[in-house]
A and B are shown apart, each in its own frame.
Chain A
């Protein structure tokens, strides 16, 4: 638009841009976010970023432990030990991937799945044992004779479970595929014999829009 005054205006309507500026500023002034909080069932899968989350941890632990306990080594152990269920200790699960994964939560999920199955017993991990030993030592110094717990009665584990978590990620623009592979193995502590190996895989496709309103 060229006015009679000779200056050039890129807008076509009256005060078009002035009003647009006003609307824009009002938007800025009034765009405070409104936070909403609602409670959801912890078992409900919620995927936000696509990264490893509580649902992955729980599902992998349940699937892989179910596979572990369905194999013949449990039966063989019970036959060889007068029907006693095996005693396990969960050792290190190393994260060999490219994503920071809270391995502690995953170990807890594995222990929970093992214990809840009723087909294996689980003893404390090294860091947990120290607290118990300190407590027993304290009891011997301070607790009554009737209630003090005995020393040297810890249950030795028959098997140790260890494993790795690996990640492969491929990304182009707003598209990403993440592949997680969890490998666990169970070893006889006395003989070093590997009695079971299990694997669980998760593949996720994450797509991000380039634009939003």
Chain B
């Protein structure tokens, strides 16, 4: 190769972009940049020029048409604001326009939407479909996966993350409670507890740790269903998870968990000493008189989980890079280039040694949206008696689940392999473009490049309607009708709920505080 064969750009300073501009580059710009790097070879052999051009044109059109341009979060950009504004039908229409039956994410979004819209039975049907479909997706389609190496990751069916599957059961459980079907709620609680136990036994929960809150919720529902022994097991697991968290997302145990654990042990006839929980007796405090009061576990959902967005980055191929021969070597190329990208992100330079850039690969990577971490103001909870001879009360809540943290942790566990794959795909497209150009002609190369760029998009799919966090408060209220007022400054005012408290009974009530700035 002679220096005149290509326009070599030598870096004047490390870390400086040498070709074009990083931001806002269109597909055509990318093609143009690509053409600048290599002198085109005219198609003298192989397919006739016209046929080659037609072929490449077809490729470009099909790729552009089949892959679409916008990422998932962009396509559903209005979903969160609509849900926050209670525009249920518009939100449903938006989801329906983007997905269809059989798509896990479609059923997840519809399930959450219908839950918040107060349609629990329909919500449960959608969430059950999501669960079943997700189970079916245990079997990986090799043809689909192959396509993801050529076009983009969205061509493969979406599989729900551990966090998402956990919260399918959460929403279903709340739906059964709203439907006044305590037996079905208890079944769902057992199902949730079993799922959590299975995951922990096999250490499958990448980056997630165990979810103490969901264990505790399962325990509460089972206790309310008259299954103190099953509740005790769930509470113990929850308490252990809070005491010795396996992830940074777990937080501190709420003060009521000790009291619930002690009560469940007492009802099961199991001495606390026998389960090594003697110390909890002091933490639990005196038991409330069950004949006069009822217990309500008030759950307050806030915020949204962080959004993944697509970021176009450009990663250089150096003149001195190894010659990655064959498709298998693209994986190696992907890993090498991913490491190069990470180095640049950390140190602001592409390599430790002096380098000469041959080409910039355009890659669309899924990253977290550059949004400030949610800062929530304190939540106020007031209880007002309605025809009950009792005083008004106030309660404090504690954060029991940090879904945003879990989502980030789960993504962090898989991001390196996802990014390496994305970069390997970009490398394959780059190589394909060059092959088309060399054998079919310049315009074939141009169109193959258009196809490659048009079909490339980051996989930003994730359940958009999950809350950022769940807070919980245990209310011990005299039997009768109560109005519960939950307020969070900066979160669209207050939510008022009326509930009937029955002596000696436990119940669950969930309220949703939607963020004002929903996007």
Contacts and interface: CB of A to CB of B under 8 A. Distances in A.
B323 A208 contact: no
A3 B438 contact: yes
Dominant SS at the B interface? helix
Contact of A5 (B5, B128, B184, B202): B5
B274 interface: no
Contacts of B47: 15
B432 interface: yes
Given A12-B326, A99-B191, A210-B139, A171 B431 contact: no
Interface in A1-22: 1-12, 14-18, 20-22
A96 B67 CA distance: 47
B194 interface: yes
Contact of B140 (A26, A100, A212): A212
A142 interface: no
Contact of A7 (B184, B329, B359): B359
B187 A18 contact: no
A151 interface: no
Contacts of B433: 18
Nearest to A9: B431
Contact of A15 (B66, B194, B321, B436): B436
Interface string B129-153: 0001001101111110011001100
Contact of A14 (B46, B140, B191, B333): B46
Taking residues whose C-beta sits less than 8 angstroms from the other chain, chain A's interface range is 35 or more
Nearest to A16: B435
B343 interface: no
A21 B190 contact: no
A27 B1 contact: no
A12 B330 CA distance: 13
B132 A17 contact: no
A21 B184 CA distance: 49
Interface string B58-71: 11001101110000
Interface of A: 1-12, 14-18, 20-22, 24-29, 49, 94-101, 103, 169, 171-172, 174, 208-213
18 contacts: A2-B323, A6-B6, A7-B6, A7-B434, A10-B324, A11-B326, A12-B325, A15-B435, A17-B429, A18-B436, A20-B432, A24-B146, A24-B150, A28-B67, A29-B65, A29-B66, A96-B190, A174-B139
Interface of B: 1, 5-6, 38-39, 41, 46-47, 55-56, 58-59, 62-63, 65-67, 128, 132, 135-136, 138-143, 146-147, 150-151, 155, 183-184, 187-188, 190-191, 194, 198, 202, 321, 323-327, 329-330, 333, 358-359, 427-429, 431-436, 438-440, 444, 448, 451-452, 455
